[in-house]
Structure 1
Amino acid sequence: MKTNNYDVIVIGSGGAGMIASITARKQGKNVLLLEKLPALGAKLKATGGGKCNLTNTLSSEEFMNSFGKNGRFMTTAINMLNRDSLREFFLNIGVQTDTKDGFRIFPVTHNSSTIIKALEKELNSLGVDIECNQSVQKLLITKDRISGVQTQDKVFNSPNVIVATGGLGFPVLGAHGDGYEFAKELGHKITDLYPAMLPVYTKETWVANCTADTIAKAIVKIDLKKAKKLKAVGDLIFTSKGLRGPVILDFSREITPLLEKYDEVPLLINMVKGKNEDEVLQIIKKHASSNPDSNVLDNASILVPKSVAKELCQIVNADINKKFKEQNGEVRNNLIKILTNTPLTVIDSVGFKKAMITRGGVTLKEIDPTTMKSKIVDGLYFCGEVMDLDGPCGGFNLQWSFSSGNLAGHLL
């Protein structure tokens, strides 16, 4: 029976919010889950291209290290719900998982709807009250602690509120940064917010001629003095306006803050699996020697896809109808250089409109990592993307959402 008085109110029905609600209910709490959209799990539905990459096969230590210096913040949450216990949780609610590539873990259906339906069924089975189309306007405080929430037309009372509102990415899926505003109004600091895990646009237009090909194990670096140590490795995909693929989605979290500062971010991309200039030169000479009738385009195409080789030859003014040894010395040298360090200039990104995650959020210094509880306001908890912690592609962010939601739901 629905009431306006609850032990726990959870705001947001992504992975973090739904599992927080389930966990809190299993602790015997009377739980209300509030969602501003007409249905649960909108952002979850889009995760992993709709396939829902739940987690991955890394050990807990490797998993946390992948988040950088803030990764240790996850220790309690990950220890309580790691990849194995997450898979067991889903198995217990009727979802089998698999890992076809030995790394990423998906539901066997490779369909995010499977996850959403199973979680919703579990919420209903446990008796969690669910109110959709309820947009929380403010968090209520009585005597320096949480006392409830106010929506557009109702007031719900509770001594505990879990904020699981996500970030700013994909506003069409309900992401408007509400959680940041709630936290800020109650005295929490919000770090600078940037779109992350998204494609980028380049100044160079030649990339549009290479959209049919993928560069495996590309090494991407930022050609700025203060960012020389930053790099990422992974598959690179060309688009009609720029770059995408796992390596760019991961690296975009480093690029977007620099874009805001410099307007342009120069990249250097090694598209030959890390080979240096000497190695590339020897490979080309060997191929040319073994194939005496081959031209420079044929030689370069053994290292990169032909569409890319053609564009790079044009950039360095190589005559693609002539052999490598028939090019002048400067052209040969420049071709070797551009194969090992291809310059591209990022001038824009798709922004929050299509960013899968947000870099930044509620500062971790103000959240207890052993409970997910606010250090500022009693009865206030955070979980998932609303906090200043984001990871690379490959199930990292969703595992963190589930783990942090589970920990918050324990109300320790």
Structure 2
Amino acid sequence: MSKYDLIVVGSGAAGMMAAITAARAGNSVLLLEKLSKIGAKLKATGGGRCNLTNTLSNEDFMARFGRDGRFMTPALEALDHKALMTFFKEIGVESHAPDGYRVFPVTHSSSTIIHAMEKEMQHLGVKVLCSQKVETLEHDGEKVTGVKTVTDTFIGDNIVIATGGLGYPVLGAEGDGYPIAKSVGHKVTELYPAMMPLKTKETWVENCRADTIAKVAMHVNMKKYKRLSAKGDLIFTKGGIRGPVVLDFSREITPLLSKFDEVPILANFTKGMNEEQIRDHFKQELLKDPHRNTLQLLQTLLPESVSLELCKLAEVDPALALGKQAGSARDRLIRLLAWTPLTINGHDGFKMAMITRGGIHLKEIDPYTMQSKKIKGLYFCGEIMNLDGPCGGYNLQWSFASGYLAGMLRS
């Protein structure tokens, strides 16, 4: 029976990077994937466009992950966004940042990334076996010795667990790595679906599905949680909201929904304008054309569909001039324009989640090596750890960087 220097479990961004890094250092590497093809979740990333990373400095990048972000310092020092772009260039993939921020392969296709990494693994002699679901970690109490799948046992001096989380179960995510980690004493935090659409109690949102609202700001309207906020573009759906701002915000909302039946939020659809600024804006618009009615004025800020719904909520007549509305109704409308209340009351669970919030406790992993502090020779990388970031290449960069560090196999 063959013995490997490294066995990698999982063929996502983190797993493939770990395999390549270890093989480049001359190690014999086996990569095990439970699906029939490698890179299934990576293929779907960013709608198939594969937002690899972004151009933020390491400090700013880590800050977007919250209080645990600094855990990434050694990984980002080893492989930051510039080094990642260089890595892909070396294996034949050019990348660029068309908006100066988000980095994509120039093909804007995740298949380009998968094919290049697969070709590099072939070139380095990495043995890839698909349809092999790892069920058990083999060890002697101090050090790992291999893994068992449903049909086989594989012997290895080092094991990298890169199985991801629970998001996108249709692409094979079942949280396979969590019981493996627990079997050697690791703690796993509570797990929540993240980066997903949200449902609202309010039904008026379905009347606005044709329109996208740019630069929306939203925050939780609960005393203890007002600091939880997000900014970005918003899209209305039949039963709620989605879009980049919602994907980011859902990371904060899903844990709250496990405690509360409903989470009230406030959304600013007017690019951050406050009540006074909105009143001034309307005055300026009326100077240009004093004959505009309320709906026409609102449409200088918002699409017609949203303007009509806010008129209904404020109980104003959209066909009347703003100055002819009752004072209380006019004030209600201005308040709604500054902060529109919505009530989040649900989501579709992990089946719609792009990532998982939660995972293996970071205190039990060495940030300089990604090695377990519980047992020698066991490494973790990517989404399986309790560290997740917003949209914009954050989670993929973390997966690649942590995979790179794990693949170095430093004790």
Fold shared by both chains (TM-score > 0.5): yes
TM-score relative to the length of structure 1:
0.98
**1:220 match: secondary structure:** strand
**2:67 match: secondary structure:** helix
**1:102 match: secondary structure:** coil
Measure, in 1, the Cα distance between the counterparts of 2:141 and 2:401: 31
Measure, in 2, the Cα distance between the counterparts of 1:365 and 1:169: 23
Tell me the CA shift for residue 206 of structure 1. Answer: 1.0
Measure, in 1, the Cα distance between the counterparts of 2:150 and 2:383: 24
**CA contact 1:45–1:116 (8 Å) conserved in 2:** yes
**1:64 match: secondary structure:** helix
Residue equivalent to 1:274: 272
**CA distances 1:184-232 after superposition (whole Å, capped 9, x unpaired):** 1110010111011111011111111111211111110101111011111
Measure, in 2, the Cα distance between the counterparts of 1:294 and 1:257: 45
Residue equivalent to 1:200: 198
**CA contact 1:4–1:155 (8 Å) conserved in 2:** no
**1:121 match: secondary structure:** helix
Measure, in 2, the Cα distance between the counterparts of 1:272 and 1:318: 19
**2:82 match: secondary structure:** helix
Tell me the CA shift for residue 240 of structure 1. Answer: 1.6
Tell me the CA shift for residue 144 of structure 1. Answer: 2.2
Equivalence map 1:206-245=2 (5 Å): 206-245=204-243
Tell me the CA shift for residue 4 of structure 1. Answer: 3.2
Q: 2:379 aligns with which of 378, 381, 384?
A: 381
Equivalence map 1:109-120=2 (5 Å): 109-120=107-118
Residue equivalent to 1:287: 285
Residue equivalent to 1:26: 24
TM-score relative to the length of structure 2:
0.98
Measure, in 2, the Cα distance between the counterparts of 1:229 and 1:83: 29
Paired amino acid for 2:136: K
Q: 2:146 aligns with which of 142, 145, 148?
A: 148
Which segments of 5 or more consecutive residues in structure 2 lack a partner in the other structure?
none
Tell me the CA shift for residue 272 of structure 1. Answer: 1.0
Residue equivalent to 1:99: 97
Alignment partner of 1:395 is 2:393: yes
Residue equivalent to 2:160: 162
Alignment partner of 1:334 is 2:332: yes
Measure, in 1, the Cα distance between the counterparts of 2:345 and 2:215: 23
Paired amino acid for 1:179: G
Measure, in 2, the Cα distance between the counterparts of 1:239 and 1:143: 52
Q: 2:59 aligns with which of 61, 64, 69?
A: 61
Paired amino acid for 1:83: H
* RMSD value, Cα: 0.9
Which segments of 5 or more consecutive residues in structure 1 lack a partner in the other structure?
none
Tell me the CA shift for residue 44 of structure 1. Answer: 0.1
Residue equivalent to 1:48: 46
**CA contact 1:208–1:242 (8 Å) conserved in 2:** yes
Tell me the CA shift for residue 91 of structure 1. Answer: 0.5
**2:345 match: secondary structure:** strand
**CA contact 2:274–2:338 (8 Å) conserved in 1:** yes
**CA distances 1:286-337 after superposition (whole Å, capped 9, x unpaired):** 3234322211111111111121111000111111111101110110000000
**CA contact 2:141–2:375 (8 Å) conserved in 1:** no
Measure, in 2, the Cα distance between the counterparts of 1:174 and 1:51: 20
Residue equivalent to 1:260: 258
**CA distances 1:27-73 after superposition (whole Å, capped 9, x unpaired):** 11111000000000000000011000000111111111111111110
**2:88 match: secondary structure:** helix
Q: After TM superposition, where is structure 1 displaced by more than 6 Å over at least 4 residues in a row?
A: none
Tell me the CA shift for residue 404 of structure 1. Answer: 0.2
Tell me the CA shift for residue 159 of structure 1. Answer: 1.8
Measure, in 2, the Cα distance between the counterparts of 1:411 and 1:206: 55
Number of residues paired by the alignment? Answer: 410
**CA distances 1:99-151 after superposition (whole Å, capped 9, x unpaired):** 11111000000000000000000011100011100000110111421110000
**CA contact 1:288–1:324 (8 Å) conserved in 2:** no
Paired amino acid for 2:257: L
Residue equivalent to 1:353: 351
Measure, in 2, the Cα distance between the counterparts of 1:130 and 1:376: 28
**1:333 match: secondary structure:** helix
Residue equivalent to 1:121: 119
**2:404 match: secondary structure:** helix
Residue equivalent to 1:187: 185
Q: 1:323 aligns with which of 296, 321, 324?
A: 321
Counting aligned pairs with the same residue, the percent is 57
**1:263 match: secondary structure:** coil
Measure, in 1, the Cα distance between the counterparts of 2:308 and 2:88: 49
**1:311 match: secondary structure:** helix
